[in-house]
Structure 1
Amino acid sequence: MTAAAPATGGDTAQAFQVDLRGVVDLLARHLYSGPRVYVRELLQNAVDAVTARRAHEPGAAGSVRFRALDGGGLEVVDTGVGLTPDEARELLATVGRSSKRDLELGVGRAEFLGQFGIGLLSAFMVADRIELESRSAVHRDAPGVRWVGHADGTYDLTVLPRAADDPVGSTVRLAPRQDMDHWLEPATVATLAQEFGALLPLDVAVEVPVGAEGRAWRRVTEPAPPWRASYPDDAARAQALARYCERTLGFTPLTHLDLEVPLVGLTGVAFVLPAAVPPGGGGTHRVHLKRMLLGDRVTGLLPDWAFWVRCVVDADGLRPTASREQLYDDEALLVARDSLAAQVRDWTLATLRSGSALARGLVATHHLAIRSLALVDDEMLDLATQVLPFETTDGPLTLTEVAAQAGTVVHTTSVEEYRRVAPVARAQGLLVVNAGYVYDADLLGRLAGRRGWDVRPLRAADVAQVLDQVEPERELALLDALAAASAALRDLDCEVVVRRFAPADLPAVLLQDRDDEHRRDVARTVGAADDLWGGVLAGLTGDAAPAARRLVLNDTNPTVRRLLAGTGRPDVVAAGLRSMYVTAVLLAGEPLRAHDAATMTAAMTVLLDAGLGTPDDSTATTGPTDDEEER
């Protein structure tokens, strides 16, 4: 096949030589997702032909028939506008050329789904030979035409005599390539035709086997899209749409909402997923253009925060990419995306405000999606404070309830920090919100900037103020014990203090302060900097950097009091303190560092030796007795 170039000056025009095998390889490997799309391309050609005929003959019936050929192969017959011999040469002798027929009929390319030449060539992905017979519905007196294309890039074109009773339209016959005949089997063709063309506004049927020898036509198109069909009542419509969702998307929806964007001719429905999905774990939709399936995993239709719904839509004003499997990113898509996002948002707000069982189910299932939307939408942020439950030391509460009880919303920024302080805070009546989960810290950060809300991260001082100081006499008595305890944990970068707090069965709690961490970072920088910059930074920080962590020992705990009594062996007391530190790390939900694990092992060794005796103890048995050896 060739594409002619115009002559310039006195030079002779040369023709580009197109390697059809290379074109087919390009289509199969780089343009289309696979051979299965050949059915879609043949359907698109047939629909375009019917569209063109209806422009010339309003009200003309449109049908497409797929039939298996005896001996293998596939035949596709449509009642479209057909071709004259000249139109066949124009369309099929040059790759990618459109017909002048569009202008003659007054129909622009926007009315068509595809491009005839490229669409027909896609059949070479499954066929070695393509035969097209066509008779024009516009030029009734014109002869028919037979075009036969071969995989080696050659073709034959024959003019057929015209009889008065010859039907108009086109017939395409495919002879399968080696090892590709399964793509032309009736069951496969019926499945693909229904997938791609179920919503097409014309009669599409596939001849399928029935019984041992029989055959019957199976219609694969529906009279109307399910969301535009007529139903007895809303309940029947909801049930029908749920069944459609199960059939096409593979899940039973929690509910649905109708979508419409008149500016781009879009209608459809959004289905709410019945189970939570992680952020970014979805966001693909089933999209039809002019009722032909574009794809069932189309992206870019909704913003990222709407990952909890799946849409099925049909549009007239959106453009496909070259592969016709994704949407072209242009102004029309931007308008559609903004409008659809607003519709999903408004429905969500109205549903949550209703306080219905659906609203409660939506919060329970898709609270992450609501949090995600609240990060970008002030109205949803205000509503989220009233409906979203947060984990707190007083049980699940909304932020509105937390503010009403405590006045100030105090929150941790990590789950580990919450677990570290929760037992003490809960026992002392300190209300703390766990904002360590996805979106929570950012959401509270946005809320902190809104008028009327006092929101701040938890500080070590918040916990310290609910811990009771020990009596002055007791504090003096523990000076030496605390100095020894701090020395025992110095290599762990941990300072030891003693307080009294509930519950009494909690021996220690580990505290960490962000301000202290900042000062320590600066201190490390001072140590690494030269004298000039080190002096400047040291002047800015003032006091020496404290330890990274504080191990707060509970003086109401019996084990702690025994460790601080000063009557035990120093190595055993130090091992007990170090094991208590590692236990506090674990209770805080933090992972053990390699140094922490080694600390626990060494401490356990000391404690076991003290309790069980060392291996070289005179009372220890180093081997079996003579009687045991005899037995």
Structure 2
Amino acid sequence: MDHRFQVNLRGVIELLSHHLYSTPGVFVRELLQNATDAIRARQHLEPGHPGTVRVELIEKQDGGLPTLLFSDDGVGLTEQELHRFLATIGESSKRETLEARRNDFIGQFGIGLLSCFMVCDELLVVTRSAKGDGSTLEWRGRHDGTYAVRASEHPLERPGTQVFLIARPDAAEYFTAERVRQLTSHYGGLLPFPILLTADGGTETLNPAPPPWRREYASVAERRKALLAYGREVFNTEFVDCIPLRAEAGQVEGVAFVLPFSPHFNARQKHRVYLKDMLLSESAENLLPEWAFFVKCVVNAQGLRPTASRESFYEDSTLARARESLGQVLRQYLVDLAHGEPRTLQRLIALHGLSVKALALDDDDFFRLVIHWLPFETTLGMMTLGHYRQTYPTVRYVTTLDSFRQVARVAAAQGLCIINGAYTHDTALLEKLPRVLPDSQLELFSAAQLPQRFDELTPEEHQQVARLRQVALEALEPFRCQVTLKKFLPVEVPTLYGDVDDGAFRRDVERAQEESDELYASVLEGALAESPEEEQKPQLCFNLLNPVVRRLARVRDVAQLKLSVEMLYVQALLLGHRPLNAREMALLNRGLLGLIAARLDEDEGTGGVH
């Protein structure tokens, strides 16, 4: 034996108010949607029918609760349709023709009228069908799930529908002239049919003008000014720019506004979206591609499907195609800026730089679009990657700020352009370059590579520095540091300490070994044994163009020469932002004490007179 489900109407209304709809105020939207659908249905019967929606707030003279009246001159309902569509949850008066003409109507779920029970306990519908015998019927529904249908004692002169709502005491705030005006304008401001509000003794049209993207303008500048003014009115924000939007899929049109601040790239923007000129949602998130975080939109769609709550769009192939089309419009906007207004694009990237970089890492297409416009810090100043690659075929970079500081001054003096990849996302973007753009060449640079570009010494100069080189080799041998002597700019730099690629890591491990217990130190030893020792030796390069180094080459006192070499070694480490291990700290202390002692000996030898 089959049984029917029993529906508790109060429970359904509770579900609607707390889970399906975002606010009780959506009852205004539902009534406007029903009126709009009724007018469009009548236009199928009578092409050219203009259609009008009237809203009237009826105040009680005795101070009682007000009544709100929604009227339309649409197709109306027959008695059979009243029973079928107003008393059956899930039915829709458009169901039979929905598949054939899905784009004609907004409502598709047959639950919109129930939203009225969130603000009233009783609902009166007075209707005359354009398809019936001309009689006027009344449908009176109550929140307990009962209803009655009878012939009206006050027949309507022409086809249409009237909906009367008497305010419930706890919902009286929705029945004031100001709130009705705000809600009606908010939800129905783009509707093509006039919406007339009668309240406070007067009548006004709430949607006098079409949306700004449908209007004609004398110039592009005037259109931009009008769109930005509209964005300021809607979102109370001074936007940087505006982008007209259009997509054939879903019949979407509208405008995107470029934000004046940089949101997090994961914070998807909430857009104001209309469906068939009726406001659907102010917080729709699924209309644009995820990477379009830098814009906020107002759009109207004719061919997309709403969800059951009618507060967002249903995910289907049409929405996917519309999203892709709108993404192409935004990409083209960036491309046009790149070719026609590069300064504007640079300002936009500067404003949304971190988010743009993060998105470029996630989206290969977006990476190709913006990577050459992204600015990077280099040893020769800030420049875009496009400018860099036009001048230098190989993109050279370092990954840490310390490495950049170490090479910046010397590399710049040699005319070497090295990118500082230490900033957020920069290294990852550069290392993605060869994968997305196979023709690019990338090289991880280190200070150890700089001496290869320095000038070699002449045979005579080799003889002059032989003693210095020998003493330096002996002094630095305990620190596994090689020694070279060359000539390079700037002359003010006496030495340059150069690591191999993993040199900084090795120094950190060695320092950790010194500060750890025996067990952990033995674990760290394994990390040092992964590559041959000769491949890991750093080097200290002396600059023979430097006056101090040239004087050192003439020093005969081996002890003084060794002390000077050790101090130059420590200075090079510090300038390279390398942490000193215990032995190097001892070297620094010994060197400072030696210099002090030498100075004191000199003073004592001269009797302290200068």
Cα 1:444–1:182 shift into 2, 3 Å: same
**Contact 1:245–1:253, Cα closer than 8 Å, also in 2:** yes
Distance 2:238 2:315 in 1: 31
For the aligned residue pairs, the C-alpha RMSD in angstroms reads 4.8
> Secondary structure of the equivalent of 2:338?
helix
1:409-424 alignment to 2 at 5 Å?
409-424=395-410
Cα 1:509–1:608 shift into 2, 3 Å: closer
**Contact 1:83–1:135, Cα closer than 8 Å, also in 2:** yes
Does residue 27 (structure 1) correspond to residue 33 (structure 2)? The answer is no
Cα deviation 1:125-171 (Å, max 9, x = unaligned): 33333333333333243341131312xx2323141336665454333
Unaligned ranges ≥5, structure 1: 1-10, 209-213, 488-494, 529-533, 587-591, 613-631
Matched with 1:156 is 147
Shift of 1:390: 2.5
What code does the residue aligned with 2:178 have?
A
Matched with 1:93 is 87
Does residue 65 (structure 1) correspond to residue 47 (structure 2)? The answer is no
Matched with 2:604 is none
1:380-391 alignment to 2 at 5 Å?
381=368, 384-385=371-372, 387-391=373-377
Distance 2:571 2:309 in 1: 64
> Secondary structure of the equivalent of 1:81?
coil
Matched with 1:455 is 442
Matched with 2:601 is none
Distance 2:99 2:326 in 1: 33
Distance 1:443 1:357 in 2: 22
Does residue 139 (structure 1) correspond to residue 125 (structure 2)? The answer is no
Cα 1:327–1:480 shift into 2, 3 Å: same
Cα deviation 1:397-439 (Å, max 9, x = unaligned): 2334434544422112344543443233234432101234455
Among 276, 288, 295, the alignment partner of 2:281 is 295
After alignment, is 354-363 or 191-200 more displaced?
354-363
Matched with 2:606 is none
**Contact 1:200–1:292, Cα closer than 8 Å, also in 2:** yes
> Secondary structure of the equivalent of 1:304?
coil
Does residue 48 (structure 1) correspond to residue 33 (structure 2)? The answer is no
Q: Between Structure 1 and Structure 2, how many residues are aligned?
A: 563
After alignment, is 46-55 or 421-430 more displaced?
421-430
Distance 2:266 2:95 in 1: 43
Shift of 1:259: 2.3
Cα 1:191–1:582 shift into 2, 3 Å: farther
**Contact 2:446–2:498, Cα closer than 8 Å, also in 1:** no
**Contact 2:287–2:319, Cα closer than 8 Å, also in 1:** yes
Matched with 1:123 is 116
Among 211, 220, 223, the alignment partner of 2:206 is 220
Distance 1:606 1:478 in 2: 16
Cα 1:89–1:400 shift into 2, 3 Å: closer
Distance 2:234 2:172 in 1: 27
After alignment, is 503-512 or 296-305 more displaced?
503-512
Unaligned ranges ≥5, structure 2: 457-461, 513-517, 520-524, 597-610
Shift of 1:199: 0.7
Cα deviation 1:559-596 (Å, max 9, x = unaligned): 9x99x99779x9xx99999899677549xxxxx9xx99
Distance 1:607 1:179 in 2: 85
Matched with 1:189 is 180
Distance 1:358 1:400 in 2: 16
> Secondary structure of the equivalent of 1:25?
helix
Shift of 1:349: 1.5
Cα 1:579–1:517 shift into 2, 3 Å: closer
Matched with 1:114 is 107
Cα deviation 1:254-306 (Å, max 9, x = unaligned): 33332222242222222233444443344433221111122223223222333
Cα 1:461–1:356 shift into 2, 3 Å: closer
Cα 1:566–1:468 shift into 2, 3 Å: farther
**Contact 1:102–1:108, Cα closer than 8 Å, also in 2:** no
After alignment, is 363-372 or 131-140 more displaced?
363-372
What code does the residue aligned with 1:21 have?
R
Matched with 1:247 is 233
Cα 1:513–1:112 shift into 2, 3 Å: farther
Cα 1:117–1:317 shift into 2, 3 Å: closer
**Contact 1:52–1:105, Cα closer than 8 Å, also in 2:** no
Matched with 1:37 is 26
Shift of 1:241: 1.0
> Secondary structure of the equivalent of 1:53?
helix
What code does the residue aligned with 1:195 have?
H
**Contact 1:282–1:307, Cα closer than 8 Å, also in 2:** yes
Does residue 174 (structure 1) correspond to residue 161 (structure 2)? The answer is no
Cα deviation 1:466-510 (Å, max 9, x = unaligned): 5789944223334565367x49xxxxxxx7979787667779877
Matched with 1:265 is 251
**Contact 1:55–1:107, Cα closer than 8 Å, also in 2:** no
Matched with 1:200 is 191
**Contact 2:136–2:156, Cα closer than 8 Å, also in 1:** no
After alignment, is 373-382 or 421-430 more displaced?
373-382
Cα deviation 1:160-208 (Å, max 9, x = unaligned): 3366654543333334445432233222222222222111111223345
1:396-411 alignment to 2 at 5 Å?
396-411=382-397
Distance 1:55 1:583 in 2: 82
Cα deviation 1:433-465 (Å, max 9, x = unaligned): 123445543443344354653322223432454
Distance 2:70 2:434 in 1: 67
**Contact 1:102–1:109, Cα closer than 8 Å, also in 2:** no
What code does the residue aligned with 1:62 have?
T
Matched with 1:473 is 467
Distance 2:307 2:99 in 1: 25
Distance 1:479 1:121 in 2: 90
What code does the residue aligned with 2:139 have?
R
Distance 1:452 1:237 in 2: 42
Cα deviation 1:33-74 (Å, max 9, x = unaligned): 232322222221221222222222323322131425433344
Shift of 1:245: 1.0
**Once the two structures are aligned, what percentage of the paired residues are identical?**
33
1:490-569 alignment to 2 at 5 Å?
513-516=500-503, 541-543=531-533, 546=536
**Contact 2:248–2:322, Cα closer than 8 Å, also in 1:** no
What code does the residue aligned with 2:206 have?
V
Does residue 82 (structure 1) correspond to residue 72 (structure 2)? The answer is no
What code does the residue aligned with 2:82 have?
A
Shift of 1:331: 0.6
> Secondary structure of the equivalent of 2:382?
coil
What code does the residue aligned with 2:107 have?
G
> Normalized against structure 1, the TM-score is what?
0.73
Shift of 1:332: 0.2
Distance 2:586 2:201 in 1: 81
What code does the residue aligned with 1:121 have?
L
Matched with 1:615 is none
Cα 1:482–1:87 shift into 2, 3 Å: same
Matched with 1:6 is none
What code does the residue aligned with 2:76 have?
G
**Contact 2:305–2:313, Cα closer than 8 Å, also in 1:** yes
